[in-house]
A and B are shown apart, each in its own frame.
Chain A
Amino acid sequence: MLSVSHVEKSYKTGGLFSNERQEVLRKVSFECSHGECLGIIGESGSGKSTLGRLLLGIEKPDRGSVLFEGENVSDHAVRLGNISAVFQDYTSSINPFFTVEAAIMEPLLQQKKTRVDAKSKVDRLLNHVGLDSSYRKKYPHELSGGEVQRVCMARAISTEPKCIVLDESISSLDVSVQIQVLELLKTLKSIYKMSYIFITHDIQAAAYICDRVIIFRSGQIEEIVPIAKLKDVQSDYARKLLKHIITF
């Protein structure tokens, strides 16, 4: 469904006239199929978020392509209603001028749904993510981090997309809230049958929810393993990562 082939990305470093470039992604290729939860694990600074932005079509790769069902994701009409996202920073993930209701309705209205339809859907969506309809009129700064991420998930699933990219969506939450949100993600997946691309630096969370994980290191794929075989990874780096977890 989502296929990434030979993607490369570099950013300019230095001033206007410098030609130095920092390579952030090198020859990244993988596929994500329908209903799959694919984890991307790596240290911070390894280029995970950059990869996420390319998957979402917000930025274009220098070389290579990101295709959604055969069409390039950099065309916004391809993404509309099919791809969605939940980001890390809950302080800026909802427009401060929007109420919860307006935020959740935004992608629905993009799809040319009528206001009345969209409004009636908000309650159901809030219900799915474990909030009640008293939240409709609240502003994001009146919510806790966990509640904001729940609203973001309601917003992300509102158009029933086929794929959601979650970039460190649970990393800034308390551990107890993280578990609740992971549970919620599992439940939502069983209802809506979409695929997740779960970007994280937390192997335990990835192991809990993912079917397959990509181990990512300095802009390259180190290894792709199904979660059942996580114990017998081949590469040294992946082993080291895992050992870290087990000793804890």
Chain B
Amino acid sequence: MNIWLSLSKDKLAVMSLLIIVATLAAGIFAPQFAPHDPTEVNMQLKYAASSWTYLLGNDHLGRCILSRLIYGIRPSVLWVLVALAISVCIGAVIGFIAGYFRGKIDAFMMRICDVMLSFPGYVMTLAVVGILGAGLEHILIAFVVMKWAWFARVIRTAVMQYSDMDYVKFAKASGSSHLTVIVRHIVPVTFADIAVISSGSICSMILQISGLSFLGLGIQAPNAEWGMMLNEARGVMFSRPELMLAPGLAIIIVVSAFNFLSDALQAAINPQLKTAQRKLQASEVRVSSYESIRG
């Protein structure tokens, strides 16, 4: 409850949250939101400027850009989030076990992670796509395979740092079980770290999906995807730069919203940061009143 209260005071956080919720809703209910069929070709409307029926105009095949943008949320945001959630979950389980119990189990798991991390990311993706064939779902599988080891390493480091704290020692000493200690003491403090690294990789994953779609390995041609829309607009970058605007801005806005939200969440969860902010605000008030007195 507290978290919501302090989040609601942060205007940027509220706006980010609204943007994210709106984006997700638009993606899930794309058929209801989109004014036209995103794959409907209409050569008479090639490069048409925005009009009342086609709010954002039309692309090189006369397809509705707004509809393509809305349908593009599905692969670009929704599926990326699913892949991210799966890899963070796998990484978290392994990271928590390795960081909390340490010893042999930690050494064993980290060697597996090292092996996974020693493959260059794109080579791994290409290998998976080579075996399974082109397609969004195969790229998502490749993402999960590639990313979990990295998350496991980062989360393990965070867990190790916190599991040495005296309050963890106290909880163990006073007879709490391992699961209770992890859930009550380690998950909340590492959550901020996990949120920050996840939101950081949302951005890179969105961009990677786009890159792979450009290579023809991801989303297949008539379907919409933000990165692919950018690539299609790239051909006419100098004659019609406005075509890059819609997908480009969409990526920037969504990625920034995730970043701002994770920052705000971190501040809202951590009581130490909260009072630091209050103090800062108080001192700012004092300074400004002092300055106004001085004239």
Contact = CB atoms under 8 A, between A and B. Distances in A.
A199 interface: no
A142 B189 CA distance: 18
Contact of B173 (A16, A84, A92, A98): A84
Given A87-B166, A92-B166, A93-B167, A110 B272 contact: no
Most buried by A among B170, B176, B269, B275: B170
A164 to B, nearest CB: 10
Contact of B169 (A81, A87, A97): A87
Interface in A72-123: 76-85, 87-89, 92-98, 103, 106-107, 110
Interface in B140-179: 165-167, 169-177
A110 B173 contact: no
Contacts of A110: 174-176, 180
Given A85-B174, A95-B189, A139 B271 contact: yes
Contacts of A58: 169, 172-173
Nearest to B174: A107
B275 A142 contact: yes
B267 to A, nearest CB: 13
A96 B174 CA distance: 18
Interface string B199-215: 00000000000000000
B166 to A, nearest CB: 4
A58 B170 CA distance: 9
Contact of A92 (B165, B172, B175, B184): B165
Interface string B261-275: 000000001111001
B185 interface: yes
A58 B174 CA distance: 10
Contacts of A88: 166
Nearest to A81: B175
Contacts of A97: 188-189, 269-271
A93 B167 CA distance: 5
Contact of B170 (A16, A57, A96, A155): A155
Contact of B185 (A77, A95, A107): A95
A56 B184 CA distance: 20
Interface in B193-247: none
A92 B167 contact: yes
| Contact residues on A (Cβ < 8 Å of other chain), bracket | 35 or more
A80 B189 CA distance: 24
Contacts, number: 85
A159 interface: yes
A48 to B, nearest CB: 15
A76 B107 contact: no
A88 B166 CA distance: 8
Most buried by A among B174, B176, B180, B271: B174
A94 B167 contact: yes
A141 B271 contact: yes
Contact of A85 (B107, B169, B180, B275): B169
Contacts of A93: 166-167, 170
Contacts of A139: 271-272, 275
Given A93-B166, A93-B167, A96-B189, A83 B175 contact: yes
Contact of A76 (B169, B176, B188, B270): B176
Contacts of B172: 56-58, 76
Contacts of B185: 95
A210 B172 CA distance: 26
A125 interface: no
B177 A76 contact: yes
A207 to B, nearest CB: 26
Interface string A57-70: 11000000000000
Contacts of A106: 171, 174, 184
A79 B172 CA distance: 9
A56 to B, nearest CB: 4
A165 interface: yes
A94 B185 CA distance: 10
Contacts of A79: 173-175
A169 to B, nearest CB: 10
Contacts of B169: 53, 56, 58, 85, 87
Contacts of B173: 56-58, 79, 83-85, 165
Q: Which 8 A-B pairs have the closest CB atoms?
A: A80-B175, A56-B173, A79-B175, A87-B166, A93-B166, A92-B165, A85-B173, A95-B167
15 contacts: A53-B169, A58-B173, A80-B174, A83-B174, A83-B175, A84-B174, A85-B170, A89-B166, A93-B166, A96-B271, A103-B167, A110-B174, A110-B175, A141-B272, A141-B275
Interface of A: 16, 53, 56-58, 76-85, 87-89, 92-98, 103, 106-107, 110, 139, 141-142, 152, 155-156, 159, 161, 165
Given A76-B172, A94-B167, A110-B180, 12 more contacts: A16-B107, A57-B172, A81-B174, A81-B175, A83-B173, A95-B165, A96-B189, A97-B270, A106-B174, A107-B175, A139-B272, A161-B174
